[in-house]
Structure 1
């Protein structure tokens, strides 16, 4: 899985119910043709990350098929999740 492009946006909580900050990432990812996640039109990975104090973690994520915006019922493998967390952590801390 390779990250080709991304967008990052801070999600504001007007009620101040949630502690810390929330960020939404939309990752344009490339997967190998033999991967079960592969689709001809490509897929995106939407990640909601939370930052509380200095701890950044993945709060939620899901795969989106680009052709019809359908949500795919797949999960990240442990090493892929670690790679995504490292990627988003680097971009959140770089934006500060």
Structure 2
């Protein structure tokens, strides 16, 4: 399960107005146990793009990154972790500006 310690979320601007719906960029810091395959000494974070378009909402893309270096990790979340990530993002959308 994902143990999110901190997060930020903001509306991603669409300067050209060509994308449908709204997109939000999330940065989430994770607390990973040493015996987990996602573990990194440098810490692990997720950068996720979440789309809301009418009644549909979901993760468009996510990347796992080393927190201290910003380097991408060549790993994927398990399906239940992806679902937990989508639920977290949906429940923590920033308020409209």
> TM-score over 0.5 for the alignment?
yes
Q: How many residues align?
A: 95
Structural RMSD (CA) = 1.2
Q: Which residue of 2 aligns with 1:3?
A: 4
Output the CA distance in 2 between the equivalents of 1:25 and 1:31: 18
Q: After TM superposition, give the deviation of residue 67 of structure 1 in Å.
A: 2.6
Alignment check: 8 A CA contact 2:29 2:67 kept:
no
Unaligned runs of 5+ in 1: none
Post-superposition offset of 1:54:
2.3
Higher RCO (CA-CA < 8 Å; seq separation 6+):
2
**Matched residue SS, 1:88:** helix
**Normalization by structure 2: what TM-score?**
0.91
What's 1:59 paired with?
60
Alignment match, 2:81: 80
Runs of 4+ in 1 over 3 A off after TM superposition: none
Q: Distance in 2 between matches of 1:53 and 1:70?
A: 34
Query: As a proportion of its length, which structure holds more strand?
Result: 1
Shift of 1:41: 2.0
More helix by share: 1
The unaligned stretches of length 5 or more in structure 2 are: none
Q: TM-score scaled to structure 1, two decimals?
A: 0.92
**Closer, same or farther in 2 for the Cα pair 1:18/1:48, shift >3 Å?**
same
